[in-house]
Amino acid sequence: MLVIETVSGLRDIINPLRKEGKSIGFVPTMGALHEGHLSLVQKCKEDNDICVVSIFVNPTQFNNKEDLEKYPRNVDKDVAALDSAGADMVFTPSVEEIYPEPDNRQFDFGQLDKVMEGKFRPGHFNGVAQVVSRLFDIVNPARSYFGEKDFQQLAIIREMVRQYKIPVEIIAMPIKREESGLAMSSRNERLSEKQRSDASNIYKVLAESKAIAKDKSAADIIDYVVDSVNQTESLDVEYFDIVDGNTLQSITNWTDTDYAVGCIAVFCGEVRLIDNITYFKKLNNGTVTTVYI
Ligand code: PAF
């Protein structure tokens, strides 16, 4: 597996491969890799001739300086994990390499980035769009892979690709969970053992809420989730919203949408965790599916 630090170095290797007709798959990450990331690598390898992974902790998407400083970093361990997973190339650029000049671009995603994460982390998605568009420009992949844990990020990246006509197929992969149900996240590394166990209540409550959703209104489910998660002393819900999975706009009645997703952000001590659950998704043929649970 090649580890490449510069944009020119990466382009020099990838461009001839693309010219030879090899398909390039791309998994962007911020490192601190877990099984969720490795499932993206696995799928990328299955779908493409070449699997490129980037490890870059993008400063422009952190609205909180302390969060950026505390973000877990362990490049050597990540490189070893990617080697075992069979990635072909790892791109580990410096900040100067990605941003030789400050990136002042302002994206407009309409209402998609005004809600949930966008409301509580101002500027976050603009930073995500800056780095992902820059990485797409460097790697020029046929396909790129993202986890559904970052549900809103996925919607925004799809919108960016649509608006800027970027020729890349965006592939979403389901959330990987620990045995306890806790959604895998690089941030879990910052949890103590007790916090990790407490944090598993987030998914427990989401799954319970789905089991009772049929007999309750969406508004009742919101109250149920917020109250139940907050009952664990170390957990503090920042928001829980039930939204249309395409527009990300809140719904109050189940009949408002064909695709209902509950999205949550919770503080466990100082660590901010997100998760989501699909209540239902109606397919074009009228079938109702309750995917991913
Ligand atoms: O999901 C992430 O890890 C990051 O937001 C991404 C997509 C790698 C951009 O920095």
Q: How remote is the C-alpha of 236 from its chain's centroid?
A: 21
Q: How far is the CA of 128 from the centre of ligand 1 (A)?
A: 7
* Residue closest by Cα to atom 9 of ligand 1: 128
Residues with CB under 6 A from ligand 1: 28-30, 58, 61, 128, 131-132, 150, 153
Question: Candidates 33, 131, 138: which one to mutate for ligand 1, based on the most atoms within 8 Å of Cβ?
Answer: 131
DSSP 183: B
Nearest CA to ligand 1 atom 8: 29
Asked whether 95 and 62 are in contact (CB, 8 A), the reply is no
CA of 150 to the centre of ligand 1 (A): 9
Query: What is the chain's mean pLDDT, rounded?
Result: 96
- Split at pLDDT 50, 70, 90, the class of 286 is low
| Rounded distance from Cα 190 to ligand 1 centre (Å) | 18
Nearest CA to ligand 1 atom 2: 29
Beta bridge partners of 237: 266
For the stretch 194-217, pLDDT in tens is 999 999 999 999 999 999 999 999
The CA 29 to ligand 1 mean position distance, Å, reads 5
- Cα–Cα distance, 95 to 72 (Å, whole number): 16
pLDDT score of 89: 98
Domain ranges of the chain: 2-173, 186-281
Q: Write out pLDDT tens, residues 122-141.
A: 999 999 999 999 999 999 99
Look at residues 193, 200, 228, 199 and name the one whose alpha carbon lies nearest to residue 212: 228
Name the residue of 26, 95, 136, 153 whose CB sits within 8 Å of the most ligand 1 atoms, as the mutation to test its pocket: 153
C-alpha 30 to ligand 1 mean position (Å): 6
Average pLDDT value for residue range 72-88? 97
| 186-281 CATH pick, 3.30.750.200, 3.40.50.300, 3.30.1300.10, 1.10.150.20 | 3.30.1300.10
Instruction: For residue 121, report the phi and psi dihedrals to the nearest 5 degrees.
Output: -130, 70
Topology adopted by domain 2-173: Rossmann fold (3.40.50)
Which has the closest alpha carbon to 139: 22, 43, 35, 47? 22
Q: Which residues contact 150 (CB under 8 A, 6 or more apart)?
A: 274
pLDDT digits (tens, 9 = 90+) for 18-58: 999 999 999 999 999 999 999 999 999 999 999 999 999 99
For ligand 1, atom 1, the nearest C-alpha belongs to 29
**Distance between CA atoms of 204 and 268, rounded to whole angstroms?**
15
Return the residue whose CA atom lies nearest to atom 6 of ligand 1.
Answer: 29
The catalytically annotated residue of 25, 26, 32, 37 is 37
Question: Which atom of ligand 1 is nearest to 186's Cα?
Answer: 3
Residue 37 designated active-site: yes
Residue 292 has pLDDT above 50, yes or no: no
